[in-house]
Amino acid sequence: MGDTPFGFNRSSDDDDGDNKPNDPFGMGFGLPGTPGGGDMRQFADMLHQFADMLGGMGAGGSGPVNWEMVRNIARHLVVEAGDPSVVDAERRQIVDALRLADLWLDEGTTLPAGIRSPKAWSRSEWLEETLPVWEKVVDPIAARMTEAMGGAMGGPDNIPPEMAAMAGPLIGMVRQMAGAMVAGQAGQALGELAKEIIGSADVGLPLAPEGVGALLPAGVAAFADGLEIPTDEVRLYLALREAAHQRLFAHVPWLRPALLSAVGDYARGISVDLSGLEEKISGLDLSNPQAIQEALGGGEIQLTPEETPEQKLALSRLETLLALVEGWVGVAVAAAAANRLPSADRLAEAIRRRRATGGPAEHTFAALVGLELRPRRLREAEALWQSVTALKGVDGRDALWSHPDLMPTADDLENPDAFLHSTGDEFDLSQLEGLPPAEDQGGDKGDEPGPA
């Protein structure tokens, strides 16, 4: 795990007895005046000030996060770092490379081309085009944070009757504040990620709209810098990787929803540590909205995965899926690049090194869900796909993608011989009989790929 803006280390001291009777929301919030909670007019004025403050922060929206705020923060960082528009010559180079890559891949996979619309994106265009998917990735964790902050304010039993009518709006505002905090952190993370991205499939998730494959000329140039390999060759190799990813995303109907649901399942299993925040705002004067903003905006909310069987299964499912995707892409690209790109092996090693060192892109994505999305079993997955290809051929290898129940499991990556011998030398399509349609498998709650 890398360091993230959300942080880690869950506190388990939930019942420490620190809450006082005159703290109406159970977190040391005490209004001046009366033991029951203070002056009601002052409390009402405070609510109005708090609402005005949230409006100024951009809080609001139908979901837990204001994505317009995320967009504005990320775009500001991208523009500040420099984001030149893609010129026609660069666009032609990228489009031609993606089209040629698909022609080469046709010879080494049965999956058809997945790119109907090849694109060359600037960093700002990458942000705009991928934001809808990032929303699906980030919203589950934002929901956890807002739920925790609202719950920390206390339930109805902890609220004096004279404050009950106003407690609801206050708790709602605190939840809005949590959403604004997540928006700020997500905007920062995506803005930093945009500076490092090469193509739409860099992080292993289907971020681009369906049918779109894209490379960023600025990202290609940055990756090529220092490799001492012709830029045209680097561009073609990266185009092969992008096109291979898009074949899976386009023609394995269960894969796209399975990847996104795996991220969501992992995020929903993250616990929220409010101990630092509670300490910071203990005794805070609620009549001072600026003080509340400073207290809630100090990065005191921390996340950590729950050590439960469900959470461990979600993590294994996500890592296995990512490893299988990246491993297959590596094998398909190696076959397509052989005898065509002289520096293919060096470029493959550069990709592995980039992932292993955990550059800014990997670390920033970790910040969004509290997980470092680098498949730790990548080498094992690639070796397994190579063995499957040697044993069953390209047709048999790619047929495994036809249903999630046919896919290797995490155990199979550790013991590939068992998987190879369990299926025999010939792939039998009769294994598909009686299985539910693959399209219905993508959103399954817990099972990782492979047989039950």
Among 315, 333, 377, which Cα is nearest to 245's?
A: 333
Closest CA to 259 of 351, 167, 149, 133: 133
Between CA 137 and CA 139 the distance in angstroms is: 6
84 pLDDT band, cuts 50/70/90, is very high
Using one digit for the tens of pLDDT, what is the confidence trace for 385-404?
A: 999 999 999 999 999 999 99
DSSP letters of 247-301? HHHHH-TTHHHHHHHHHHHHHHTEEEE-HHHHHHHTT--TT-HHHHHHHHTSS--
Greatest distance between any 2 Cα atoms in the chain: 82
How many alpha carbons fall within 13 Å on the CB side of residue 141? 29
pLDDT of residue 283: 58
Provide the pLDDT for residue 172.
67
Segment 107-111 shows an average pLDDT of 96
Residue 183 CA to residue 65 CA, distance in Å, equals: 6
Which of 60-69, 73-82, 276-285 has the least mean pLDDT? Answer: 276-285
- Pairwise CA distance, residues 297 & 281, whole Å: 11
Residue 422: its pLDDT value, please?
Answer: 77
Amino acid at the residue 209 = P
Alpha-carbon distance of 18 to 11, in angstroms, equals: 14
Minimum mean pLDDT range among 36-40, 92-96, 217-221, 432-436:
36-40
Q: Tell me how far CA of residue 269 lies from CA of 12, 64, 133, 175, in angstroms.
A: 16, 17, 20, 19
> What percent of the chain is predicted at pLDDT more than 70?
61
Percent of the chain with pLDDT over 90: 45
Q: Which residue has the higher pLDDT, 280 or 313?
A: 313
As to burial, measured by CB atoms within 10 angstroms (0-12 exposed, 13-18 middle, 19+ buried), residue 222 is middle
Contact 191, 77 (CB under 8 A): yes
Which pLDDT band, with edges at 50, 70 and 90, does 360 fall under? Answer: low
Which pLDDT score, from 0 to 100, does residue 443 have?
43
Alpha-carbon gap, residue 227 to 233, rounded angstroms: 11
Q: Where are the domains of the chain?
A: 63-274+302-377
Q: For 72-78, what is the mean pLDDT?
A: 95
What span, in angstroms and rounded, lies between the C-alpha atoms of 288 and 296? 13
Residue 377, Ramachandran bin (φ over 0: left; ψ between -120 and 50: alpha; else beta): alpha
Burial 103-114 (b: 16+ CB within 10 A, else e): ebbeebbebebb
CA dist 262 and 267 (Å) reads 9
By three-state DSSP, how is residue 153 classified? Answer: coil
Residues in a beta bridge with 215: 120, 199
Residues belonging to the chain: 452
Return d(Cα 111, Cα 450) in angstroms, integer: 20
Instruction: Quote the pLDDT of residue 214.
Output: 99
Question: pLDDT band at 435, cuts 50/70/90?
Answer: low
Of 200 and 423, the one with more pLDDT: 200
* Across 31-40, average pLDDT: 43
Cα gap 378→410, rounded to integer Å: 11
pTM: predicted TM-score of the whole model, two decimal places: 0.78
> What does the pLDDT read at residue 370?
64
> What pLDDT does 31 receive?
38
Question: Chain centroid to CA 212: how far?
Answer: 19
Average pLDDT over residues 66-89: 94
**What's the rounded Cα separation, in Å, for the pair 44 and 40?**
6
Q: Per-residue pLDDT tens for 119-149?
A: 999 999 999 999 999 998 888 877 877 776 6
Q: Is 228 left (phi over 0), alpha (psi -120 to 50) or beta?
A: left
pLDDT, residue 355, reads 83
Q: Which of 48-62, 113-127, 222-236, 320-334 has the lowest mean pLDDT?
A: 48-62
Confidence of residue 21 (pLDDT cuts 50, 70, 90): very low
pLDDT of residue 377: 80
pLDDT value for 166: 57
Q: Count CA atoms within 13 Å of residue 147 on its CB side.
A: 11
pLDDT recorded at residue 11: 35
Per-residue pLDDT of 408-420, as tens digits, reads: 999 999 989 989 9
Q: Name the residue with tokens 């616990």.
A: 271
* Long-range own/partner contacts, residues 228-232 (CB < 8 A, 24 or more apart): 229/343, 229/346, 229/347, 230/343, 232/93
Say yes or no to pLDDT of 34 above 50.
Answer: no
* Amino acid (one-letter) located at 179: G
pLDDT at 22 over 50: no
Residue 273 makes CB contacts below 8 A (sequence gap 6+) with 7, 8, 9, 10, 11, 301, 302, 303, 304
Q: Which residue has the higher pLDDT, 444 or 121?
A: 121
* Three-class DSSP category at 434: coil
Most confident of 86-100, 125-139, 286-300: 86-100
In angstroms, the CA 224 to CA 127 distance is 22
Query: Whose CA is closest to 403, among 429, 422, 374, 377?
Result: 429
Give the mean model confidence (pLDDT) for residues 242-260. 96
Q: How high is the pLDDT of residue 17? A: 42
**pLDDT reported for residue 313:** 85
Mean pLDDT confidence for 147-163: 57
pLDDT band at 249 (very low <50, low <70, confident <90, very high): very high
